[in-house]
Amino acid sequence: MDDVRARYLRDRVLTASPAQRVVMLYDRMLLDLRLAATADDPYTTGSHVSHALQILAELQGSLDQKQGGPAENLSSIYAYLIGRLLEARISGDLAGLDGLITIITDLRAAWSQAAMPDTSASDDSAAPTATAWVG
């Protein structure tokens, strides 16, 4: 059963567009933060926060800073989130996770909308491309 699930997940990632992969990363990060907030022991909490930090580092590293605009804005948001998660991991104070989850949920919603093809446009070239700043 695990082999089938692993194959499904691998195929899902390999066939996803770059923007859809970003949405998947946000989904996993949200799961990690929710699991961290409800974990019973510090080790599990720290493990989930660390994984969320790894995802943020990957997202930050994928930005093309030369493009400016959205990449610079996302970089600033990611830096803020990384700083807050590092503080939470070091202090053990998870009270601020709800605010971070809200920010990440909003980012995920924007990426999800950008990742969906614009079916209302008569010309495919008019559809927005969310991959402009994703490496």
For 69-79, what is each residue's pLDDT tens digit?
888 899 999 99
**What per-residue confidence (pLDDT) applies to 14?**
65
Q: Which segments of the chain does DSSP mark as H helices, in order? A: 2-15, 18-38, 42-61, 70-91, 97-115
**What per-residue confidence (pLDDT) applies to 13?**
65
Q: State how far the Cα of 28 lies from the Cα of 31, in Å rounded to an integer.
A: 5
Does some domain include residue 135? no
**What per-residue confidence (pLDDT) applies to 76?**
93
Calculate the average pLDDT of the chain.
82
Residue range(s) defining the domain that contains residue 82: 15-111
Does some domain include residue 52? yes
Whole-angstrom CA distances from 19 to 24, 72, 91 are: 9, 17, 33
Does some domain include residue 133? no
Contact between residue 86 and residue 49 where contact means Cβ atoms under 8 Å apart: no
Write the CATH number for 61: 1.20.120.340
**What per-residue confidence (pLDDT) applies to 92?**
85
Share of the chain above pLDDT 90, in %: 51
Q: Could you give the number of structural domains in the chain? A: 1
Does some domain include residue 122? no
Does some domain include residue 134? no
126 pLDDT exceeds 90?
no
Does some domain include residue 127? no
